Homo-oligomer: A and B are copies of this chain.
Amino acid sequence: MRLTKGFWQTYKEVPADAEIPSHQLMLRSGLIHKSGSGLYNYLPMGLRSIRKVENIIREELNKIGCNEITMTVVTPGELWQETGRWDKMGGLMLRFKDKKEADLCISPTNEEAVTDIFRKTVKSYKQLPVGFYQINTKFRDEIRPRFGLMRGREFTMKDAYTFHMDKASLDAGYQEMYDAYTSIFTRLGLEFIPVEADPGAMAAADSKTHEFQVVADVGEDLIIYSQEAQYAANAEKAQTIRTKTEFNLNLSALTEVITPNKTTIEDVCSFLNKPYHYSLKSLVYIATTATESKLILALLLGDDSLNEIKLQSHLKCDHLIAATEEQMKAAKLWKGFIGPVGIFSDIKIVFDKSINIDGSYIIGANKKDTHSEGFNPKRDVKELIQADLRLARAGDLTLDGKHTVVEKRGIEVGHVFQLGDKYTKDMKVGILDQNGKLVTPLMGCYGIGVTRVVAAAIEQNHDANGIVWPKSIAPYQVYFATIVKAEEFVKIADDLYKEMMDAGLEVVYDDRNVGPGNKFKDSDLLGLPYRVVLGERDFGASGELEVIDRKTGIVTKVKKEELVSTLKNLLK
């Protein structure tokens, strides 16, 4: 593209609401244009990158025989009502009525729609397994959209769905998709980790799920990671062991101590001059199932945090919500002074399994401004229940006890998930197996945030001067900056541009009448893999052009006859 003919504009100022580098750089380099809160138009340069991401995804999914379709962006409420998700999806789903007062929504995901296609088309086990995918517009009505394309309201997503006759086939299909994802993110040039994720309390016990996380400081997800052990899991899901801890094994009688206004572990332990893990943290929750609602007291070592998902999964409840101060008061619990002894309400108590039940701990005394020392779980609790409740953290050990894990921040760009029969059951899908028996097929679903991938790639690949694109998804491959005025050199530059184009190279030809400083600044900001400079003086003297690697800054001088072959080699 000749810049004098095409449409591209960079910006110097950083918009106030752009907090992270990728958001700032995408706006400054003219890849996107803000249309409204969480709404971004894709400008030509940005769209080219997005298309490259789409094509890599498409190629890898076509390879494994997944069928590309397109489902409507607006979907009828009826479909969602069949699975009960019309009510359960919550505020992120944008719902509205059409002229005939029929329920519609802008689909944030498409399990119901694809299951409807499947049940109306596939009748025999011979047609299974079968997979579908689409690359399409999605909308989630985030209250606080932020980070540009990273968490926008409208975004492009690839969502895929597979259908299987049995778990073995689902497992095989899941692995195939997992491998395709690995190929996709590798080709995209991203540093990523597939991490074990939590399938949720409602999923089957053997349901698998992984997130594909791009490692980046601004990531909203916490990953527990050990390279040596090849272990990676979302912190919510991670299974680790607390490092060896020295407990207080000197038992003594349970004794109240006055701790005025000391409501946190930090305050109490400082006041009593004890390490945090000599105390127990007490957290009150309300667990709800279809039939009952129950108060829960979760106890952890003072320096540990609760993993709510683990607690919910232990309790097998539908909802788990932290109790409010009012709810605590109603149960005669003093916030900041709660403990497992002397409770006046019906409450279920669960101890984290990292707690050494032979130890002595500081606990809340269930009286205002009072704690107790000398609590010994084994001695002081009648029916002791222990479960894995703590949130994994850096410094923990892998389950085999051999490796120490670290924490990394990740941007979730992909997700693979075994759905099981949730949707096929609710939507009454039946397939005859080879014995003529009606079987409810199993499903998997698999997402990639296409536009988020572009933002994540920039988040991971930039420097002080701008973007440093991975080669596979750069909008163009070469920035051809000319600093020539004499007509003979303009002709050489034009010829070289034509030669590069004819060779199939993707070239931005900066033929604008602006100084070299501006051209180089724009070139660095846009961050195409290679910059080629034709300077009248240098070229006139040595007949050479400069090829500059955006990432390393390494400059190679080449004769014009070698330019195309040099670039082709570099871009391999």
Could you tell me which A residues sit within 8 Å of B by CB distance? 5-7, 9, 30, 33, 35-37, 39-44, 47, 50, 65, 67-76, 78-79, 91, 94, 96, 98-100, 102, 104, 106, 113, 116-117, 120-122, 127, 130, 132, 136-137, 139, 141, 143, 153-154
Contact = CB atoms under 8 A, between A and B. Distances in A.
Contacts of A6: 65, 67
A30 B117 CA distance: 11
Contact of A42 (B42, B70, B98, B104): B70
A41 B137 contact: no
- Give how many copies assemble into the complex: 2
A219 B94 CA distance: 35
Contacts of A132: 7
A113 B41 contact: yes
B141 A35 contact: no
The list of the 9 closest CB pairs from A to B, nearest first, reads: A36-B76, A96-B96, A42-B70, A7-B67, A39-B72, A41-B71, A9-B121, A44-B67, A72-B154
Contacts of A5: 65
Given A35-B75, A37-B100, A137-B137, 7 more contacts: A7-B121, A7-B127, A7-B132, A9-B122, A41-B71, A44-B68, A94-B98
5 contacts: A35-B76, A39-B72, A73-B73, A99-B143, A100-B143
A74 B9 contact: no
Given A36-B76, A96-B94, A30 B153 contact: no
A120 B73 contact: no
Nearest to A77: B36
A65 B117 CA distance: 39
A443 B2 CA distance: 23
Contact of A116 (B35, B117, B121): B35
A79 B39 CA distance: 13
A443 to B, nearest CB: 15
Contacts of A39: 72, 74-76
A154 B74 contact: yes
A430 to B, nearest CB: 17
A165 to B, nearest CB: 16
A510 to B, nearest CB: 15
A249 B538 CA distance: 91
Contacts of A50: 70
A278 to B, nearest CB: 46
Nearest to A75: B35
A133 to B, nearest CB: 10
Given A6-B67, A121-B30, A137-B137, A40 B73 contact: no
A102 B37 contact: yes
A74 B7 contact: no
